[in-house]
Amino acid sequence: MDSLGTLSVKYDKACKKIGDLKTRLYDCNEELKSKKQKLEYRNNKIAKLKQLCLEKDEMIRNLNDEINRLKDKIEYLNAISNHDSTTVGIPTASTPIGKAKYNSSINSREPTDRKIGGQPGHSKSELSIPDDIDEEIEYVADDATECPKCGSHELVFTGKTKAVYEKTISIKPINLKKVFYQYQCGSCGTTFFLGLKPNERSACHYGTAVQAVGLSLMNTCNVPINKVKTFFEGITNGEISPSEGYLAKLPMIASKKLSEFRIVLKNLMLQRTLVYWDDTVININTKKGCLRFYGDETLSYYTAHEKKDLEGIEEDKVLTLLTEEQKTMHDHNKVNYNSKFKFGNLECNQHLQRDLKKIAIDTKHDELLELKDLISDTIHKRKEAINKGETRFSDEFIENFNKKVNDILNRAEKRNKKDYDAYFGRSEKTLIKRIRDYYDNYFAWVSDFTLPTTNNLSERGLRVVKSHMRSSGQFQNIQNAQYYADAKTYIETCRKNGINEIYAMIRLYEGDPITVKEIFSGEDLS
């Protein structure tokens, strides 16, 4: 057994060893702590680097998205810049600067290799020699006449002459004196001047021809009032110079004489099986108003309103009185499908073709352009069939047309979903849905040759209104706009039936306007 001293030594060694172990353990813990701190630092750094990478990836994605958006924007702006009269059928007046103007209603012929002008074998159009000669001018040489080649005055008449006839006009003011004899009725004692009209009571006034020409210049030629005055002064050497105030009253005077004409004409229109209609925005004393057209190939009926809304349509009492047997042609005016109306609807295919072409150009999707070409080709075939005396397409042709349209629309829908355009995709989808929803209204003309394909008649009726706005700027008030509409109703209806406008206006200002019964003598006006 070890002695106490030996045990003490061993204990001291053990304690020392334990102390060394504690020191080593402490050093290990410190080293471990240091390594943990370094590891944590590295982990934090790695986390920060990962976060930075994620942020950079997000930034790259955002930049790529922005690049794609800008690319789409560039395509959109390029598409918009390519919109002109030749691509999307915008009005020629709205054609951007530097773009070609084109009006398909004026010239829709396809280009050929032939030279411009009369073609071989084309008969020359010349004026015929008049039977009656009103004035004759002779060109006879005098002492001052020179030879056109050498300037010599030694000219000898050869005995030959050459006659050239000329049709021209001569404007000569007429100072007309009218003498009205007064009579007294032997029965009641009333005295009156025979033939004297209310507008002739002043000592001197302008005649109906001046009034007719003045209104025609303002209403049809869209000449501003001050230039109408200048025109009269120019052609009469200043003898006729109506004031601007006098000219401004001419539409009001005409309107007051046309109340019965408008009533009878509207009643006649309400008997037609087909009525075209459209409206356009006009300016009324710095505010937006509306001028509306109703009519067909033989009559025109215009109305003016302060707002372009259903209330104005109801005030016109045209669409509200049409029956189920009647139809209207319009430019996809959705108000026509109001439950208050009973008539059938026809949609304009020219507007549809414009929309198809525009969206096809914008989206670069050929399906809608294919549909446009199909419609154009079918309209062309219909014209050929009508010229041959045919009254309809065969059932097989109609069925094949419907299949083709349906196939194109199906492919267009798939293309729209697959290659959705950020700017034009929604418009494309909306147009496809519109064609499906109003299919029968758009393509009724395929199975019935008596129905029109476009609403061009209404557009032509309102085109002159836009020209009037460009020259005059605005109407002073809604009443003046209605005066313009009343005169336009009379003038356009007369012109459509071959009646000279000036003659019709002279009759109007004389108090004896051409009546609807005179124009449509063979129709029932009851």
Beta bridge partners of 304: 291
- For residue 146, the one-letter residue type is E
| Cα 322 to Cα 276: distance, rounded to the nearest angstrom | 12
| Cα 186 to Cα 203: distance, rounded to the nearest angstrom | 28
Tokens representing residue 251 in the block: 């539409």
Of 378, 441, 369, the residue nearest 412 (C-alpha): 369
User: How would you write 100-166 as a 3-class SS string?
Assistant: CCCCCCCCCCCCCCCCCCCCCCCCCCCCCCCCCCCCCCCCCCCCCCCCCCCCCCCCCCCCCCCCCCC
Provide the pLDDT for residue 108.
47
Of 509, 437, 38, the residue nearest 251 (C-alpha): 509
Provide the pLDDT for residue 16.
83
Residue reference for tokens 């004393």: 285
DSSP-based three-state secondary structure for 195: coil
Of 510, 491, 467, the residue nearest 210 (C-alpha): 510
Give the CA angle between residues 178, 180, 182 to the nearest 5°: 170
- List C-alpha distances in Å: 108 to 86, 103, 104, 369: 11, 8, 5, 18
Assign residue 286 a region: left if phi > 0, alpha if psi is -120 to 50, beta otherwise?
Answer: left
Of 70, 96, 102, the residue nearest 83 (C-alpha): 96
Residue reference for tokens 């029968």: 440
pLDDT means per 10 residues, the chain with 526 residues, are 73 82 85 87 89 90 84 71 63 62 51 70 79 90 90 89 88 88 92 82 86 92 91 92 93 94 95 94 91 96 94 94 95 91 95 91 90 95 94 94 96 91 87 95 95 92 84 86 95 95 94 94 74
What residues contact 330, with CB distance under 8 A and at least 6 apart? 276, 277, 278, 336, 345, 346, 347, 348, 455, 458
Q: In angstroms, how far is the first alpha carbon of the chain from the final one?
A: 151
Residue reference for tokens 């605005």: 474
DSSP-based three-state secondary structure for 237: coil
In degrees and rounded to multiples of 5, residue 279 shows phi and psi of -140, 165
HSE-CB at 66 with a 13 A cutoff on CA atoms is 6
- List C-alpha distances in Å: 41 to 47, 54, 381: 10, 20, 82
| Cα 526 to Cα 524: distance, rounded to the nearest angstrom | 6
Provide the pLDDT for residue 160.
92
Tokens representing residue 381 in the block: 């075939």
